[in-house]
Structure 1
Amino acid sequence: MKARFTWLCLLPLLLAAAVAQAQIQTNPVQADDTQINVVQGPQVKGEIFEYSTGGETYQGYLARNVSDKTPRPAVLVVHEWWGLNDYARTRADQLAALGFVALAVDMYGQGQVATHPDEAGAFSRQVMQDWPAARARLEAAMTKLSEHPAVADTGMAAIGYCFGGGIVMNMALSGMPIEAAISFHGSPTQAVKNPQPFEGIVQIHNGAEDPLVKREALMGMARALEAQGAEVKVVNYPGATHGFTSPESGEAAAEFGLPLGYDAAADAASWQAALLALDEALND
């Protein structure tokens, strides 16, 4: 009887607590956010960006933050030997989100993309064997890009991957008007016959276990750039191989038997270093 009496006494209290909890859940207190500073993040949009030279039309990809009305520095992104694919466009989008106007250039014309290493090799060799023509394509892209209202007149920089890394190193070696040239697992083949002065920043990010980049050729390119006045920095990433910045490199390795592999640590470290260099070169 005593236990029953205790339960009856507690029952009103339990019911009152349940009602109060229900009121809290169904009628939450509205937070006062009038004092919270809410800003809009970058609104990145990409579009086809065409330019012409030598009677040929090239289809690049321009990425920028359309909610930002202030002109910003421009960065060229030069694709791998596969051509202007989604990977190069993704890097352009990332740069646009960080405050640059990024143009992923088309080095093969008409936006051609290779689907097999043999085709990619043929495309890339054709470009590297005729540097004057390659330079003309880059100059056409840079000239039209400089006319875009979203681009500031504070100078440009170029980054490149694999084949594209070789391109940006040769851009610096030929004295093209860029403030920085940054290569990721780039081929150090020297296509420029008459090197010219270049006083900008050159970063060469290389996989220490990359069998496709010979150390002698890499250091030869670095010395050639340094001799022209460049501020050269070579970074070797232990354990990293070719294509270490691309998460999809493993798929190509499996499909075609290529010595490729993604390395998340090397990717993150090289990207951070590149961003600091771009900030130094283009944003004072």
Structure 2
Amino acid sequence: MTLAIQTREVVYQDKDGHQLIGYFAAPENAQAVAGVLVSPEWWGRNEYTEQRARELAEHGYAAIAIDMYGDKKVTTDASQAYAWMMDTFKNANTIVDRATAALEILAAQPEVDSNRVAAIGFCYGGKVILDLARSGAPLKAVATFHANLSAQSPAEKGKVQAEILVLHGEQDSMVSLNDVEGFKQEMTQAEVTHRVTILKDAKHGFSNPLADERAQANNVDLGYNAAAEKQSLQEMYALLQRKLA
């Protein structure tokens, strides 16, 4: 059943005082439902990320599409997206600080049960939530889609609280299968409960119906795959249902 939902923008700040603007969605008249952070691709907090937040709300969760660049900046130009993303890498703490600020504002919403929170992320946003989980954030579950799996600081034994699901395209040329194996070794050594699903014939960006358009406009190796999108979302919702019940 698809629930009626409410949406609003939520303004918050990181530790350095940057204004960030999240897009919040929840079932109408929701009281203390589980919350989910939605972390965007490197394009910024765009309509795609907001759509995923609305879908989560329709499934009974409260969700916030987060702003990693400030003032909800978005672009469709890969060179601009790369520049904004790299700005967040300059300081080792920026990514986790901004993701933590988003998690705190999500937990503070009256519709959210702060004891039941999870995070999902796409591409760059997958790295964001993986680093958030590595930092020891109180997340029950994490699901990533065609994510950058590299770590600012590798996971430490006993620190990661989330169960992690990585959804990765078999034909992803940006994050190799060797990278995936390295990530699995990192999680195993840190004793993190995790699972990796390799999606057949799927490229980087497989979950986004606009991936082919963005690929053509920017000469980057992205590709939408409807079957991979469907399977990955099913696996994500199964994880959320199990961990946030």
Fold-level similarity (TM above 0.5): yes
Give structure 1 regions of 4+ aligned residues with deviation exceeding 4 angstroms.
none
Q: Deviations over 1:59-113 (max 9, x none)?
A: 01001112x3331010000000000000000000000000100001100111111
TM-score of the two chains, using structure 1 as the length reference: 0.81
Which protein is richer in helix relative to its size?
1
Supply the distance in 2 between the matched residues of 1:44 and 1:65 (Cα, whole angstroms).
4
Q: Is the 8 A contact 1:172 1:225 kept in 2?
A: no
Are residues 1:149 and 2:110 paired? Answer: yes
Question: Taking structure 1 as reference, are residues 69 and 88 closer, same or farther at Cα in structure 2, changes over 3 Å only?
Answer: closer
* Residue type of the alignment partner of 2:86: R
Question: Taking structure 1 as reference, are residues 246 and 41 closer, same or farther at Cα in structure 2, changes over 3 Å only?
Answer: closer
From 235, 242, 245, give the equivalent of 1:280: 242
Residue 145 (structure 1) shift: 2.0
Aligned counterparts, 1:160-239, within 5 A: 160-192=121-153, 195=156, 197-239=159-201
Q: CA RMSD in A?
A: 1.6
Percent of aligned positions that are identical = 29
* Residue type of the alignment partner of 1:167: V
Q: Is the 8 A contact 1:175 1:195 kept in 2?
A: no
Residue 49 (structure 1) shift: 0.9
User: In the comparison of the two structures, how many residue pairs are matched?
Assistant: 243
Q: Deviations over 1:18-45 (max 9, x none)?
A: xxxxxxxxxxxxxxxxxxxxxx952222
Question: Taking structure 1 as reference, are residues 194 and 221 closer, same or farther at Cα in structure 2, changes over 3 Å only?
Answer: closer
**Structure 2 residue aligned with 1:132:** 93
Are residues 1:253 and 2:210 paired? Answer: no
Supply the distance in 1 between the matched residues of 2:99 and 2:244 (Cα, whole angstroms).
19
Secondary structure of the structure 2 residue equivalent to 1:159:
strand
Supply the distance in 2 between the matched residues of 1:158 and 1:52 (Cα, whole angstroms).
19
Q: Is the 8 A contact 1:173 1:228 kept in 2?
A: no
Supply the distance in 1 between the matched residues of 2:163 and 2:35 (Cα, whole angstroms).
15
**Structure 1 residue aligned with 2:233:** 271
Supply the distance in 2 between the matched residues of 1:194 and 1:97 (Cα, whole angstroms).
33
Supply the distance in 2 between the matched residues of 1:225 and 1:172 (Cα, whole angstroms).
11
Segments of structure 2 that go 5 or more residues without pairing to the other structure are none
* Residue type of the alignment partner of 2:72: G
Supply the distance in 1 between the matched residues of 2:3 and 2:137 (Cα, whole angstroms).
30
**Structure 2 residue aligned with 1:56:** 18
Name whichever of 75-84 and 227-236 sits farther off: 227-236
Supply the distance in 2 between the matched residues of 1:223 and 1:169 (Cα, whole angstroms).
15
Supply the distance in 2 between the matched residues of 1:183 and 1:194 (Cα, whole angstroms).
16
**Structure 2 residue aligned with 1:244:** 206
Q: Is the 8 A contact 1:199 1:229 kept in 2?
A: no
Name whichever of 125-134 and 95-104 sits farther off: 125-134
Segments of structure 1 that go 5 or more residues without pairing to the other structure are 1-39
Supply the distance in 1 between the matched residues of 2:155 and 2:243 (Cα, whole angstroms).
25
